[in-house]
Structure 1
Amino acid sequence: MRAVVLDVNETLSDFAPLRRRFEDAGAPGELMPLWFAGVLRDGFALTAAGGYAHFADLARDGLRDLLARTGDPPGDVDGAAEHILGGLARLEVHPDVPEGVHVLKEAGHRLVTMTNGDARLTEGLLERAGIRGQFDAVLGVSGPRRWKPAAEAYHYAVRSVDVRPGEALMAAVHPWDVDGAQRAGLRGAWLRRGSIRYPESMSQPARVAEDLADLARSLSGPAA
């Protein structure tokens, strides 16, 4: 295996602080996962229908609708939505990520991120963590204009580092991302991050790890 493709949202970045942003806006923090799931749903739907929209636009639309339908909606829904979206530029990586990235790079793997979000936000995330220099490419779906799990998104990522799909491993916390990558010809690694069960209805991952550091150590061992 020559390259590792890394998902970003929730795989590298810790979304927990966004719950506080919801609370700042007068909405329950528990709405955060519902909002994010809705953004993914709409991105997937547009891709399936042959369309495309940027993550930020879908995220803003979803927040406006969700906040307006809360029991006590904020007086300035647009302002509240922008406050929450502003938190995306302040997220940090999970604590295990720097170690995992360094181990993977030292083992000789080419590293590339592929996000359904904004690649510019990924650049900032990696810079704040001090690991941007470890990556060969930082990409988003605005390149292929196809959201993951469409095969074109994964193929776009592996072409950027000049490897074939079968020479790359996709690591993600989301089972749909692992499944999509494997259907596109990559190998898949599921990062549990506290989850217990992988869906039986999806293709089973080639590898399972607790987090990125755990995966990196396993890939650098004798059996890798």
Structure 2
Amino acid sequence: MSSGESESRHGAAHPGDPALRAVVLDVNETLSDFAPLRRRFEETGAPGDLMPTWFAGVLRDGFALTAAGTYADFADLARDGLRALLAQTGGRTGDVDEAAAHILGGLARLEVHPDVPEGVRLLKEAGHRLVTMTNGDPTLTVGLLERAGICGQFDAILGVSGPRRWKPAPEAYHYAVRSVDVRPCEAVMVAVHPWDVDGAQRAGLRGAWLRRGSVHYPRVMSQPAWTAEDLAELARSLPGTRRGGDG
């Protein structure tokens, strides 16, 4: 199935669907551009291509702890993961802890993808309540959105430290929608990661997948209600919403 065929199948509301009242946005890689972190790896003497491996490991460990019924913050898992990877990287010298701190310092300097400000503006103008829900640190989300000049457009800026359950656990999505006083079926989760879209849909939200250059969505996961290349394209394709004062 081509991407266009997928969009025609999954890109429209169905009769009887509740009106969308809220948009829940993932942050890491969905809103934020992680590409500069590759340079941070290189500055420590590690290959830049190690960045996706590190990030995938952080997610793996967060998922595993949630499945086991416990919790750890993103920052702690990110630091532990970096120390382990850098210690195993041949050809580099220097203190592992200093290198990890240098790489993690880049998280506070990331910028949003170029399409994000327009997408946020369009979503807000449509009357949607906007909330971020990240497996990362919500204070970093505040800085990211402030640098983009769009922080004031959001109704809530949240992270999994609130429910102490990493996405894709359903408690994380329910925590997000409760913060803006909507039912799960009245919200859409927007993410670049298929596992996040799938998790949200299994928790009762609708899902929107941002491709950002990717062409493959796993067949084993629930298919997104909407697919778009970026946030601005998605915002233009979502149906109108019931505004906050409507019953």
Report the TM-score when normalising by structure 2. 0.89
- Which secondary structure does the structure 2 equivalent of 1:22 belong to? helix
Displacement of 1:73 in angstroms is 3.4
Runs of 4+ in 1 over 3 A off after TM superposition: none
Q: Secondary structure at the match of 2:121?
A: helix
> Which residue is equivalent to 2:146?
127
Q: Report deviation, 1:221.
A: 6.8
Indicate the SS of the match to 2:172.
Answer: helix
Equivalent position SS for 1:20:
helix
8 A Cα contact 1:103 1:220, kept in partner? no
Query: Hey, what's the Cα distance between the residues in 2 that align with 1:217 and 1:68?
Result: 46
Counterpart for residue 190 of structure 1: 209
Deviations 1:80-114 (A, max 9, x none): 00000000000000000000000000000000000
Q: Among 166, 188, 193, which residue is 1:169 paired with?
A: 188
Match for residue 21 of structure 1 among 32, 40, 47: 40
Structure number with bigger Rg: 2
RMSD of Structure 2 on Structure 1 (CA): 1.0
1:80 and 2:99 are equivalent in the alignment? yes
The answer to whether the Cα contact below 8 Å between 1:2 and 1:168 also exists between their aligned partners in 2 is yes
Residue-by-residue CA offset, 1:25-73 (whole Å, 9 max, x unaligned): 0000000000000000000000000010000000000000000001123
Give the structure 2 partner of residue 178 of structure 1. Answer: 197
Partner residue, 1:102: 121
Task: State the partner residue of 2:163.
Answer: 144
Indicate conservation of the 8 Å contact 1:74/1:80, yes or no. no
Matching residue of 2:29: 10
* Residue number in structure 1 paired with 2:54: 35
Q: Which residue of 2 aligns with 1:206?
A: 225
Displacement after TM superposition at 1:74 (Å): 2.8
SS at match of 2:235: helix
Tell whether the 8 Å contact from 1:68 to 1:74 is kept in structure 2 after alignment.
no
Which structure exhibits the higher relative contact order, with contacts defined as CA atoms closer than 8 Å and separated by 6 or more residues? 2
Using the TM superposition, name which of 71-80 and 118-127 deviates more: 71-80
What letter is aligned with 1:60?
R
What amino acid maps onto 2:153 in structure 1?
Q
Contact 1:148 1:154 (C-alpha < 8 Å) held by counterparts? yes
Aligned length in residues:
222
In structure 1, the partner of 2:7 is none
1:168 & 1:121 partners in 2: Cα distance?
A: 24
Q: CA deviation at 1:220?
A: 5.2
Task: Tell me which amino acid in the other structure corresponds to 1:154.
Answer: Y
Q: Structure 2 unaligned runs (5+)?
A: 1-19, 242-247
Q: CA contact under 8 A between 2:126 and 2:240: conserved in structure 1?
A: no
For residue 190 of structure 2, give the secondary structure of its aligned residue in structure 1: strand
Q: Deviations over 1:100-143 (max 9, x none)?
A: 00000000000000000000000000000000000000000000
